[in-house]
Amino acid sequence: MTQERENMKIWFITGASRGFGRIWTEAALKRGDKVVATARSLASIAELNELYGDNVLTLELDVTNKAQVKEVVQAAHDHFGRLDIVLNNAGYALVGTIEETDADDVRALYETNVFGALYVIQAALPLLRKQGGGHIVGTSSNLGHVTLPVIGYYCSSKWAFEAIHESLAAEVASFGVKVTIIEPGAYATEFGSQQSLKAVEGMEIYGDFKQQFAESLRTMERGDPEATPEAVFKVVDSDNPPLRFFLGSQALPWVRETYAERLATWEAWEEVSNAAQSK
C-alpha cells in the first residue's frame, strides 16, 4: 500500500486500461497519488485494486454514454471528496482515406475522441468550480497541428479536440480551473493494436498508396512510453502549467517546419488576401 504523500493529488483518468492511460495511472499511484481509473471493461483494470488498495477506485465507463459519464464522474468525486486532475485519455484511431471512409465510422470516431471528452468536461466542471479549482488535461497528439494521409479523420478529431480545449481554457480560468493539452509524438504504445484502431474496408485504387504509408509508419522512430510520467507530473504539479505541451522530441521540429511553410504560403498570397478586405 502506497503512503499518502504531501501535496497528494486525486486523478480521474479515462482509458486507463492500456497505453498512456495505464502507464500514467500506475505512475501516479506509485508516487502516492490517488486515482479513479476508468475503462470500458472493468476486468481490464481490476488488478489495480489488488496492487494499490484504497488509493485506487476502478469504475466501468463508456465515454460515449453521456448519462453514464455524469454518474461516474459524480461517483468519483463523492468517493475521494475532490478531483484535482481530470485526464481525458480515451480515444482510438481510424485508418482509411477520406474517400473510402464511411460517414458513420467518422461519427463513431468523433463520439469517442471528441464528444466523449466533452461529456467528461461538462460533467466535471460544476464539481471543479464548487471545490474552487482543478486541472483538466487532455491527451491529444502532435497530429492536432499537422496531418498525415490515411488517418486524416483521426487528425481532424484531434484538431477539434485542441480547439475545444483552447476555448475552454479562456472560459474557465476565472474559476481557478487550468487546462493542458498533452501532445505526444510517436510512441511504442498499444495505440496501433486492434483495440485502439479501426481500419475501414479499402478501395483498390488506394492500395499501393496505403501500403507505402504503412511501411513509413513501421520504420518511424518511436519513443519509450515509460519515459513519459515524470514529464507529465512536472506539468500537473506546475503552478502555471502550459496550455499545450509536446511529449517527446519529435513534435516541435515537425510543427516548426509545418508552420514556417504555412506562413510562407499566407505571406505569398498576402496581397490577394488584403485586396479582398474592402471594395
Catalytic positions, please?
140, 154, 158
Say if strands 177-184 and 244-247 run parallel, antiparallel, or are unpaired: parallel
End-to-end CA gap in the chain? 72
Q: 177 and 136 in contact (C-beta within 8 Å)?
A: yes
| Residue 5: exposure state from Cβ atoms within 10 A (0-12, 13-18, ≥19) | exposed
The torsion angles phi and psi of 38, rounded to 5 degrees, stand at -125, 150
The number of CA neighbours under 13 Å toward the Cβ of 229 is 14
Phi-psi region at 132: left, alpha or beta (left = phi > 0; alpha = psi -120 to 50) = left
Distance, in Å, from the CA atom of 204 to the CA atom of 210, rounded to the nearest integer, reads: 10
